[in-house]
A and B are shown apart, each in its own frame.
Chain A
Amino acid sequence: MSRVADLLFANRVWKSVFRHGYPSNPRNRAEVMFQNVFLHIQSVKVFKRSLKVSATFGLGLILAYLFLLLTLTGFLLMFYYVPEVHRAYADMKDLEFAVSFGVVLRNMHRWAAHAMVLFTFLHMARVFFTGAYKAPREFNWVIGIILLIITLFLSLSGYLLPWDQLAYWAITIVSNLIRTTPPADIMGAGASYLVLGGTQIGQNTLIRFYVMHVFGLPAICGLLMVVHFWRIRKDGGLARPDESNIPLR
């Protein structure tokens, strides 16, 4: 058995990838966290209280997983959906009725998107009620607010893509809202022209919303998520009551 293990692990290739030994002692367990880019998002040690489910209900983590799920399902949906006014609705219908597992992917994307808005509000409520927005975490709250706005923009831009009546009138209402930006004759009209890519909702609008939905907004969102997570670590992990009373684990 140990010969098999030696064959697998005691060679140059394995050691070039994993520089630490098997995590059977505290030092190696720490090394695992330090030396792995995916695991080092977690700290080596956490407060005992932070391990309780009721500390956060995992709402932020759920949001991160929803974002990952939306990225993966969105990536797959892009292979069949073409953002062209004569095709978009038919492509959406094809995904539901003609493409194998298309209906599963579309609905995963759709429900995860709804869930992301919902969990954003729940996450914010948790942060608020546990006072986790207080110093030194004030700026992370601000980043969270920007992430909320981006989530809503992602939700809105995705809503247009099926190019059905719901989509059309939702964007009509939003463009009318934008048009009221004061002074309405200059800023409002200009902003609406920029967002719609013209004076009415059409092909330019669809491609603009599509590009923002599949690249622009997710890119900004991903970048801010990195900063958001990094700051949780730098601010000492999850917020907790008087830390001097709670032992490290």
Chain B
Amino acid sequence: MSDHTVEPEFSYDQFSRRDFFTLVGGVAMAGTFGAALVGSFRYMWPNVLYEPPKRYKIGPPAEYPVGVNFIADQRIFLVRGVYGLRDNEYRVVSAICTHMGCTPKWVQKDDRWECPCHGSQFNTLGVKVAGPAPRPLPWYEVTVGNDGRLVVDQNKVVTADYKLSI
């Protein structure tokens, strides 16, 4: 007989009933708190956003004259029929300066956008030519919806040579 006052060394042969329940309890507790933690993080991730939609309709193509059209509600420019586009071709660029989010103004005589806040300038491709803006203005996909109106999808950023032909 061994001395009962000495704790036996751990071995799988002597994995007692108590050890088993300790393990089960530990795993159950870790699982419970782990699940609560994961659930809490998931809870903080909103499923529904009350933000303006990123994909929206603007007017029918014929509504916009040839040139650079500023659409104030959505803060975009619709370019039609100029700078390599035919009269039936369209493209859309963001009107939010990539520096601090002001609205650049289209300056027709210089063929460029100029931001009033910190002086960034963007050429007809949306590429910065002056000022502090860190990135070019993004171009967005524009398509024609079922009802004949133009659909802009800001989730889909396209290259500056993208164009919609109608």
Contacts and interface: CB of A to CB of B under 8 A. Distances in A.
A203 B45 contact: no
Interface of B is mostly: loop
A194 B49 CA distance: 12
A198 B52 CA distance: 11
Interface residues of A, number: 11
Contacts of B101: 172
Given A169-B100, A172-B101, A197 B51 contact: no
B51 to A, nearest CB: 6
B8 interface: no
Interface in B28-87: 41, 44-46, 49-51, 54
B147 to A, nearest CB: 27
A200 B41 CA distance: 19
Most buried by A among B41, B45, B49, B101: B49
Interface string A185-225: 00000000110011110111000000000000000000000
A202 B45 contact: no
Interface residues of B, number: 10
Contact of B46 (A169, A172, A198, A200): A198
A202 B52 CA distance: 11
A193 B50 CA distance: 14
A204 B46 contact: yes
Nearest to B100: A169
21 contacts: A169-B100, A172-B100, A172-B101, A193-B45, A194-B41, A194-B44, A194-B45, A197-B44, A197-B46, A198-B46, A198-B49, A198-B51, A199-B49, A199-B51, A199-B54, A200-B51, A202-B50, A202-B51, A203-B50, A204-B46, A204-B49
Interface of B: 41, 44-46, 49-51, 54, 100-101
